[in-house]
């Protein structure tokens, strides 16, 4: 072949390479993925594992959690509310997200992959070893997330236009016979001067079969006609489709199965709107009164000669046994706003007991007598509870820290027919305090609280006449000032649907300081009285 022929062949090869370069499609942009906070991942260890694996894989573009949180804050979404499917669907367009990864860490890691529309694409339970994922699991998870970020589009193409793919493969050989399409394969061979004419000869040999489009399936034998030195023609259409389907073969079925809109989202945990408690109560009461001192212990420590005046000691020989009940209402508990924590707490209890009473006077000590007494407590409190979640178990109720305050009344009455010089105790006072509930298991919560009594003076009440109340003060002094408190600790939980239990112990104490001259002997300068109760409640709860 002449030198001009060689130059012409080389020119054709270079032109075909330029044409192929121009036809190469631009690389698609990497899908954007954000890894949200994992519930129960206290030190953010597992989330950082997943984020590092996705970054190392290089198949997705990570959106930082800080950037997502900033966008959520602008949309007034905070905490768990920013990780819901609705929140992802709201924020995805602004951040150009393709997928979001969220999870719950407990004994295992429950992973959920959400699409840009908040749709659940995939769920998976992975075992945790000492609070971490194994290296193999985190690699597989990262690969699955990277694939799922682009799967929704790929799955739609594979499901609906599946039939048209075959015609494209069948028609592809029609474009193969023209010389323009065959020449690009020539540069795949060695770039030596002698083999250069071979591509030209191949083009000439293949060019004549133009009128045989019906023999498209016979395209593979065509390369066999070339002499043994010619390179085989690749089948780009068949191979490319096969490669694409193989790449998506493993995760694609999962995406089709779990991307249905019918997949239910896990229920959001909230405090119950109504909680009713009914049960029994056991009460131990202790009362002492001493003249001219600041405490009962101070009077008892004096020498016997200096212990002048009437003293009163009351100890319940047997505990008060009775009934108790409590109703909690949080009418806005289902609201998404901060007002959901407001509520009302109503309580009532009444106990009965046979009590042994001894009164010491200037003439001696009265015989021990047994009297029947009752102890009645009524309360009406407003409350506000701030909820939080310590553990990731979705079966657990929310914990809370709360404030409460209102009015409380406690009345101790002695049977009038007992004929003992012992008055009752009637108190009505404002109160305020704190409460906390910590969930440990679905069937176990630890509850604690405290109240401060604001001026719980004796002689005030709603269940006795005025004369009886005034006598409580005048016997021991002209005026009285009082202070008191209570503290409680217990456990509760649900054991069968909304039905649960509660066991709680409570200790309360009130101190009365009397001034002025009292009616009893030795109370010329007033004195002090202390009333202490220990209550144990037990019973069943119903929460709705």
Residue 283, pLDDT score: 92
Which pairing describes strands 320-329 and 342-361: parallel, antiparallel, or unpaired? Answer: antiparallel
**CA–CA dist 420, 314 (Å, integer):** 12
Q: Report the alpha-carbon angle 287-292-294, nearest 5.
A: 60
Task: Specify burial of residue 297 (Cβ count, 10 A radius: 0-12, 13-18, 19+).
Answer: exposed
pLDDT of the residue at 314:
79
CA–CA dist 414, 159 (Å, integer) = 84
The set of residues, in sequence order, having a beta carbon less than 8 Å from that of 444 and lying 6+ positions away, is 491, 492, 493
Q: What is the CA radius of gyration of the chain?
A: 43
Terminal Cα-to-Cα distance of the chain (whole angstroms): 95
Q: Return the number of other C-beta atoms located less than 10 Å from residue 428's C-beta.
A: 18
Q: Whole-angstrom Cα distance, residue 379 to residue 326?
A: 9
Predicted local confidence at residue 81, as pLDDT = 86
Q: Please give the Cα distance from 276 to 280 (Å, whole number).
A: 14
Look at residue 152 in the predicted model and tell me its pLDDT: 52
Residue 126, SS3?
strand
Q: What is the pLDDT of residue 322?
A: 93
Place of tokens 């440990």: 440
* Burial class of residue 479 (count of CB atoms within 10 Å of its CB; 0-12, 13-18, 19+): exposed
Residue 238 pLDDT: 45
381's tokens: 């409190």
Tokens of 459: 């002689």
pTM (two decimals): 0.53
Please give the chain's pLDDT, 544 residues, in tens: 555 565 566 666 566 565 555 555 556 688 999 999 888 887 788 889 899 999 888 889 999 988 999 999 988 888 888 889 999 999 999 988 889 999 988 888 889 999 989 888 888 889 888 888 898 888 888 888 888 887 654 444 334 444 444 444 444 444 444 444 434 444 444 444 444 444 444 333 444 444 444 444 444 444 444 444 444 444 444 444 444 433 434 444 444 444 434 444 455 567 889 999 999 999 998 889 999 999 999 998 999 888 888 888 877 767 889 999 999 999 998 888 889 999 999 999 998 877 666 666 656 666 666 777 888 999 999 999 998 877 655 556 788 999 999 999 998 887 765 555 566 788 999 999 999 999 888 789 999 999 999 999 888 877 666 666 677 788 888 889 999 999 999 999 999 989 999 999 999 999 999 999 888 888 988 899 999 999 999 999 999 8
**Residue closest to 404 by CA, chosen among 375, 428, 437:** 437
* Residues 21/24/28/30 CA torsion (nearest 10 deg): -50
Q: What is the pLDDT of residue 428?
A: 92
Angstrom distance (rounded) from CA 376 to CA 350: 4
Angle at 331 between CA 328 and CA 334, to 5 degrees: 115
Q: What is the DSSP letter of 255?
A: H
Residue corresponding to tokens 């995805």: 92
- H or E element: which one contains 201? helix 197-206
> What is d(CA 328, CA 330) in angstroms, rounded to the nearest whole number?
7
Q: Give the separation between CA 138 and CA 51, rounded to whole angstroms.
A: 10
- CA 75 centroid distance within chain: 20
What pLDDT, on the 0 to 100 scale, is given for residue 315?
79
> Whole-angstrom Cα distance, residue 290 to residue 526?
9
Residues 151, 136 contacting (CB under 8 angstroms): no
Q: Tell me, what's the pLDDT at 487? A: 97
């Amino acid at each position: 072949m002449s030198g001009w022929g060689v130059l012409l062949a080389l020119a054709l090869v270079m032109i075909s390479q330029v044409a192929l370069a121009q036809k190469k499609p631009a690389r698609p942009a990497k899908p954007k993925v954000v890894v949200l906070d994992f519930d129960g991942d206290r030190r953010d260890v597992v989330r950082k594992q997943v984020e590092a694996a996705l970054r190392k894989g290089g198949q997705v573009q990570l959106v930082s959690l800080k950037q997502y949180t900033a966008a959520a804050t602008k949309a007034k979404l905070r905490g768990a509310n920013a990780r819901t499917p609705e929140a992802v669907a709201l924020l995805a367009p602004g951040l150009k997200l393709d997928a979001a990864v969220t999870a719950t860490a407990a004994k295992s890691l429950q992973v959920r992959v959400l699409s840009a529309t908040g749709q659940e694409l995939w769920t998976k339970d992975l075992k945790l070893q000492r609070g971490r994922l194994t290296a193999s699991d985190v690699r597989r998870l990262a690969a699955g997330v990277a694939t799922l970020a682009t799967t929704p589009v790929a799955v739609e193409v594979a499901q609906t236009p599946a039939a048209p793919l075959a015609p494209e493969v069948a028609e592809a050989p029609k474009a193969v016979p023209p010389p323009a399409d065959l020449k690009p394969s020539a540069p795949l061979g060695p770039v030596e001067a002698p083999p250069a004419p071979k591509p030209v000869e191949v083009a000439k040999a293949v060019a004549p079969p133009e009128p045989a489009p019906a023999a498209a399936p016979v395209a593979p034998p065509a390369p066999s006609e070339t002499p043994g030195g010619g390179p085989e023609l690749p089948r780009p259409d068949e191979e490319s489709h096969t490669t694409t389907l193989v790449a998506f073969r493993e995760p694609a079925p999962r995406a089709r199965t779990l991307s249905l809109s019918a997949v239910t989202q896990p229920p959001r945990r909230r405090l119950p709107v109504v909680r009713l408690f009914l049960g029994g109560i056991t009460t131990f009461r202790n009362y002492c009164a001493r003249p001219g001192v600041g405490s009962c212990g101070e009077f008892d420590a004096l020498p016997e000669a200096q212990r002048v005046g009437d003293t009163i000691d009351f100890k319940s020989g047997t505990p008060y046994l009775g009934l108790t009940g409590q109703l909690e209402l949080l009418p806005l508990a289902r609201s998404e706003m901060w007002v959901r924590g407001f509520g009302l707490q109503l309580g009532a209890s009444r106990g009965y007991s046979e009590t042994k009473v001894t009164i010491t006077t200037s003439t001696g000590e009265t015989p021990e007598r047994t009297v029947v007494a009752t102890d009645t407590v009524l309360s009406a409190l407003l409350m506000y509870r701030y909820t939080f979640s310590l553990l990731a178990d979705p079966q657990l109720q929310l914990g809370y820290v709360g404030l409460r305050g209102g009015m409380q009344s406690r009345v101790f009455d002695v049977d009038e027919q007992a004929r003992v010089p012992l008055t009752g105790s009637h108190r009505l006072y404002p109160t305020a305090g704190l409460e906390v509930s910590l969930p440990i298991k679905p069937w176990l919560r630890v509850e604690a609280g405290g109240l401060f009594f604001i001026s719980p003076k004796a002689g005030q009440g709603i269940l006795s006449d005025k004369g009886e109340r005034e006598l409580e003060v005048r016997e021991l002094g002209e005026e009285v000032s009082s202070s008191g408190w209570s503290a409680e600790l217990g456990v509760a939980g649900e054991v069968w649907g909304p039905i649960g239990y509660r066991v709680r112990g409570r200790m309360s104490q009130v101190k009365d300081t009397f001034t002025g001259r009292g009616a009893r002997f030795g109370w010329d300068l007033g004195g002090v009285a202390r009333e202490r109760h220990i209550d144990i409640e037990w019973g069943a709860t119903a929460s709705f």
